[in-house]
Every structure is written in C-alpha cells, then in structure tokens.
Amino acid sequence: MLLPGWGQGAQQRLANASALVVGVGALGSVSAGLLVRAGLGRVAVVDRDVVELTNLQRQMLYTEADVGVPKAEAAAARLRAINSEVTVEPFTEDVRGERVLELVEGIDIIVDGTDNFETRYVRNEAAVARGGRMVYGRAGGTAGTVLPVLPGVGPCLRCLSAELPAATETCDTAGVLGAVTAIVGARQASLALQVLTDMDVPPRLESIDGLTGMSRTMDVATLRDAGCMCCGQRRFEFLERGDQTAVVLCGRNSVQVSPAGRRKVDARSIAEMLRSHGSFDSEGGVVRGRFARETGEHGDAIGLFLFGDGRAVVSGTSDPARARAVYARYIGA
C-alpha cells in the first residue's frame, strides 16, 4: 500500500483479478506463490505431473512430504495456507486443444510455467484467441528469459519464431541452477501484477544470467508481424492439433502417454489388476507403482503413475515407443 502506484485502487484491481498458472514446477511455483501473496482474487494452477524428490532443488512450493502427490493438488494446498482469501483452483491435467480455451475463459492473465515450446505455443494461441495476456518464461542452465505477450501491443511467440524453435539446452542436457528459476518466476509475477493493475508494460524480451548477474533487455515491439499465422491471420494450428500420444518429460527419464481421447479410469480396479504384475496402489483416483518384470533401457524398473483421465507417466524409460508399449500392454491402447 505504501509503494507509489500500488495503493488502494491497485489493490482492488488485484482482488478482482484472476490468473492461470500453467505448470507449477520451477517457474510456476514461484510465480503462483507471489501472486497469491499479492492478493489476487482467483488463481488457477494446472500441472500434469507429480512431485518428485529431484524437484525440490528448485520447486519452491513443495517439501519431501509432497513427493508422489500431484503437483496441482500439492501447490493448491500450500497456496491456500499462504492466503486463505484467494480462491485457488487446481487442475491435474495435460492441457491442450479445446480444454485450454475452457480454462482461459474469464482469466485475466496466463503465466507460462511449462517446459517445452510446443505447449508454450498452445498457450500463446489461447491468449491470442481470447484476447488475453500471457507472461512467457524459460530457464535452463544458469540463464533465463521473460517476455510479456500482449495481443495488439507487441509480438506473440509465433511473430518471433513462425516455426517451433530448434532444439535448445534443457534440464536434461544442461541442468538448471535453482536460483535462476526463482529469478525468472519472480520476474514473471512482477510483470503479471503490473499488467493486472493497468500499468504500462512495454513488450520487451529480457534475458537474465543468474550466475553473473548480467541481464539484457530488447524492445521487440517492432517485431510484431501483421502476417503472423497466429495473431495476424488468427490461424491456431497448435490448438487444433489436440493431444500428443507421448511426450518425453524434462530431466525425468519418464514419458507421458496420453490416450487418443479423454477417458475415465477406475483407479481401484486397475490397481487391483496390476498387483499381479508389481507393487501398485490407488489413492485419490490415481494409480501408482512399479512393475516387477518390466525394465527400461538402463535396467531401471518401469513405474506407472496413471491419472483419472487415462493419462499416464511411465518412468524408468525415455523411449516413447517403450512407454506406449507398456501403456498398451497393461492399460489398453
């Protein structure tokens, strides 16, 4: 309240605002925590994954007690404990296609905490399609990048790169400094708060090195492309592609396998069925466990975490074909 520009009027705008944080891992857990502490009226958190021990190096909302719990649920519990006046809605989903448009309906800003460019392009198209705003963020190694995507003001992600960018270093190949993710996530939250309080936010691409403290800022307003397939021609190819069959998860030696369509899973009966093949149980509508006689390419036991929508994370392998085969063998194609 004492900061210039952040008085009663700004506080009321925040209390009336809503944000969708897509991915509550390294970046999203930081930005979601700051948005809730700032007193937004509603914060929805979406994540397809579960908390793992290796996440705790950089994912600020979780503790060892959360290992094995769906991230969206664990994040929501922590966020509600931080500020009970904020409405926090968790969604344990891999959000693509039409479902993205359903979740962004009525949302004032999207905060991107995802870990690959294809899913970012889906969020980018959703923001443009609904006339919304998004704050893009990325961290890897010791560096990070932040960009506000403001339709009608600056470029969208496809203005900057019409096709998916070439492969870049990820946490699989380069690791990530936990402090860098905190810097990027905090910067995303700061930009989101400025947008939500109607402050002037110029379209600038910010690059940050968390190890050296060096940063660069590039004005990208002139890079807005009137012929852009997304914000210019309003063709939303990534939204229309729907679910992928298999996605290798960053730094996890795991693959997410999705059914062709949304399906409901009877977790208890499937866990019972799988017990003859390994150690499995069900809790909260989720099946989890490891197979006794299935191993991955490095000899690791294959694990399965099956969600209520039929989507599964197959651990112990980074081979999509192997993951799909395990899914088909025990869950059905």
Task: Check residue 162 and give its pLDDT.
Answer: 83
Question: Containing H/E element for 304?
Answer: strand 301-306
Closest CA to 4 of 199, 202, 204: 199
Strands 204-209 and 109-112: unpaired
Amino acid sitting at position 63: T
List of domains in the chain: 8-241 (3.40.50.720), 246-330 (3.30.310)
- Does residue 123 register a pLDDT over 50? yes
Pairing of strands 286-295, 278-283: antiparallel
pLDDT category at 262 given cuts 50, 70, 90 is: low
DSSP H or E stretch at residue 33? helix 26-37
Q: Is the pLDDT of residue 173 over 50?
A: no
Closest CA to 323 of 232, 226, 257, 261: 257
Please return the burial class of 297, using the count of CB atoms within 10 Å of its CB with bins 0-12, 13-18 and 19+: exposed
* Residue-averaged pLDDT of the chain: 88
Cβ distance 184 to 122 under 8 Å? Answer: no
CB 112 within 8 A of CB 22: yes
Determine how many CB atoms are found less than 10 A away from the CB of residue 288.
Answer: 22
Task: Encode pLDDT of 49-89 as tens digits.
Answer: 889 888 899 999 999 999 989 999 999 999 999 999 999 99
- Distances, alpha carbon 23 to alpha carbons 29, 114, 248, 316, in Å: 8, 5, 16, 22
**What is the mean pLDDT of the segment spanning 127-150?**
92
User: CA-to-CA distance for 16 and 306, rounded, in angstroms?
Assistant: 36
With bands split at pLDDT 50, 70 and 90, how would you rate the model's confidence at 167? Answer: very low
Residue type, 305: F
List the catalytic residues.
Answer: 171
Under 8 Å between Cβ of 107 and 96? no
Q: Which residue has the higher pLDDT, 282 or 328?
A: 282
Other beta carbons within 10 Å of 296 = 21
Cβ contact 299:232 at 8 Å: no
Higher pLDDT, 325 or 135: 135
| Tens digits of residue pLDDT in 207-254 | 999 989 899 999 999 999 999 999 999 999 888 765 456 788 877 889
Instruction: Identify the pLDDT of residue 311.
Output: 87
Report d(CA 188, CA 63) in Å as an integer: 23
Long-range residue pairs from 170-173, CB within 8 A, at least 24 positions apart, any chain: 170/115, 170/116, 170/140, 170/250, 170/251, 171/115, 171/140, 171/250, 171/251, 172/250, 172/251
Question: What do you get for the CA distance between the two ends of the chain, in Å?
Answer: 56
What DSSP string describes 155-209? --HHHH-SSPPPP---TTTT-B-HHHHHHHHHHHHHHHHHHHTT-----EEEEEE
